[in-house]
Structure 1
Amino acid sequence: MTDRIIFHMCRSAEWESARSSGSYPGSSQDAADGFIHFSTGSQVEESAAKHRAGQDGLVLLTVDAARLGDALKWEPSRGGQLFPHLYGPLPVAAVLRADPLPLGPDGRHVFPAGFRDTGFWDVQP
Structure 2
Amino acid sequence: MNTIYCLVPKEYWEQWEIREHYLPRDYEQEGFIHATKGDELLGKVANRVYKEYEGELLVLVVDEHKTTSPIKYEQAKDGLLYPHIYGPLNHDAIVDVKSMQRTDGRWEIGASIR
TM-score range, shorter chain: 0.7 to 0.9
- Percent of counterpart pairs with the same letter? 27
CA distance in 2, matches of 1:14, 1:23: 13
- TM-score, structure 1 normalization: 0.77
Give the number of equivalent residue pairs. 109
> Is the 1:54–1:108 contact (alpha carbons within 8 Å) kept by the matching residues of 2?
no
**Residue 58 of structure 2: aligned partner:** 59
Q: Which runs of 5+ in 1 are unaligned?
A: 114-125
Report the RMSD for the aligned CA atoms in angstroms.
Answer: 1.8
* Deviation sequence 1:3-38 (CA, Å, 0-9, x none): 51000110112222222112111133x432111100
- SS at 1:6 equivalent: strand
- TM-score, structure 2 normalization: 0.84
> Is the 2:69–2:88 contact (alpha carbons within 8 Å) kept by the matching residues of 1?
no
Shift of residue 99 of structure 1? 1.0
Q: Which amino acid aligns with 2:37?
A: T
* Greater strand share, structure number: 2
Q: Which runs of 5+ in 2 are unaligned?
A: none
Are the structure 2 counterparts of residues 60 and 70 from structure 1 closer, same or farther at C-alpha, using a change threshold of 3 Å?
A: closer
Give 4+ residue runs of structure 1 displaced > 4 Å after superposition.
none
CA distance in 1, matches of 2:109, 2:23: 23
